[in-house]
């Protein structure tokens, strides 16, 4: 597969709201809110939360119930509100209110998994990381870029086949592709800009003959 051509097809795609942010606080909080939540819902919840709590210190002053109210209806809003409370406390006490820039430090924070940590590093700190979520995992396998069983393997294998200059953009490109065409069930291959190079599409076409 021609990787440059692949990214050329995707370059005009609008990026998800959280990936377009450059402020580490916004990307971190937005990344946590976005798990199991539609982008439109995440965007509204993040904007509402930031309007009331524009920084870590202010957010830390809110009780869990208030955070819950502001982020509702994101998925698992009750658990996420509790994690956000723990997260702000930890960042203020341990990191003087700064978002750390190392993967292991980010992973040690409450509510922060690998997906959110790599999103913060790539989107907010401009570091060469690949943020692999379910969209990136599914699409990378369908396209034939990798043949993997889980997100961690996908991240590792993608780093071998995708030039480093594209690592940061894979997540936002594939998330948009996943929302518009490459749905988990019934992908809309006929309209997809990658249909001529996609393994899944080729296999489906040849088995239909
Ligand atoms: S051609 Fe189909 S399976 Fe392949 S990336 Fe596009 S939508 Fe997904």
Q: Tell me: the pLDDT tens digits for 11-22?
A: 888 889 999 999
Contact residues for 49 (Cβ-Cβ < 8 A; gap 6+): 29, 33, 59, 67, 70, 71
**Cα-to-centroid distance, 196 and ligand 1 (Å):** 9
Supply the Cα-derived Rg of the chain in whole angstroms.
18
Alpha helices in 134-184 (DSSP H): 134-143, 151-161, 167-180
- Block mean pLDDT (10 aa), the chain, length 209: 89 90 96 93 97 96 98 97 98 97 98 97 97 97 98 98 96 94 96 94 83
57 three-state secondary structure: helix
pLDDT of residue 191: 95
Alpha helices in the chain (DSSP H): 3-10, 17-20, 24-34, 39-52, 56-61, 64-71, 77-95, 103-107, 114-119, 134-143, 151-161, 167-180, 199-207
Cβ < 6 A, ligand 1 pocket: 139, 142-143, 181-182, 187-189, 192, 194-195, 198, 200-201
Query: DSSP label at 189?
Result: G
In angstroms, rounded to a whole number, what is the distance separating the alpha carbons of residues 17 and 43?
Answer: 6
Q: Whose CA is nearest to atom 2 of ligand 1?
A: 189
In angstroms, rounded to a whole number, what is the distance separating the alpha carbons of residues 27 and 84?
Answer: 13
Structural domains of the chain in order of their starting residue, each with its CATH number: 3-13+131-207 (1.10.1670.10), 17-124 (1.10.340.30)
73: preceding bond cis by omega (within 30 degrees):
yes
pLDDT of residue 205: 82
pLDDT of residue 204: 86
**Cα-to-centroid distance, 160 and ligand 1 (Å):** 22
In angstroms, rounded to a whole number, what is the distance separating the alpha carbons of residues 52 and 120?
Answer: 22
Q: Whose CA is nearest to atom 8 of ligand 1?
A: 182
Q: Which of 129, 141, 144, 131 is nearest to 175 (CA)?
A: 131
pLDDT of residue 66: 97
Query: ∠ CA 77-79-58 to the nearest 5 degrees?
Result: 75
Q: Which of 5, 135, 189 to mutate to test the pocket of ligand 1 (most atoms within 8 A of CB)?
A: 189
**Cα-to-centroid distance, 86 and ligand 1 (Å):** 40
pLDDT of residue 138: 98
């Amino acid at each position: 597969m021609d990787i440059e051509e692949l990214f050329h097809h995707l370059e005009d795609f609008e990026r998800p709201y959280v990936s377009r942010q450059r402020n580490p606080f916004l990307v971190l909080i937005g990344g946590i809110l976005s798990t199991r939540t539609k982008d439109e819902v995440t965007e509204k919840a993040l904007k509402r939360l930031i309007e009331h709590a524009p920084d870590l210190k202010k957010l830390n002053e809110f009780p869990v119930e208030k955070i819950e109210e502001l982020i509702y209806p994101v998925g698992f809003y009750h658990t996420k509100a509790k994690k956000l409370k723990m997260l702000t406390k930890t960042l203020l006490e341990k990191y003087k209110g700064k978002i750390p820039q190392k993967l292991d430090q980010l992973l040690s924070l409450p509510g922060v998994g690998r997906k959110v940590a790599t999103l913060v590093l790539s989107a907010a700190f401009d570091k060469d990381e690949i943020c692999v979520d379910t969209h990136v995992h599914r699409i990378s396998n369908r396209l034939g870029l990798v043949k993997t069983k889980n997100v961690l393997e996908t991240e590792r294998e993608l780093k071998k086949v995708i030039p480093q200059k594209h690592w940061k953009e894979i997540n936002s490109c594939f998330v948009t592709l996943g929302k518009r065409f490459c749905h988990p069930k019934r992908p809309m291959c006929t309209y997809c800009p990658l249909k001529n190079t996609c393994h899944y599409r080729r296999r489906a076409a040849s088995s239909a003959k």
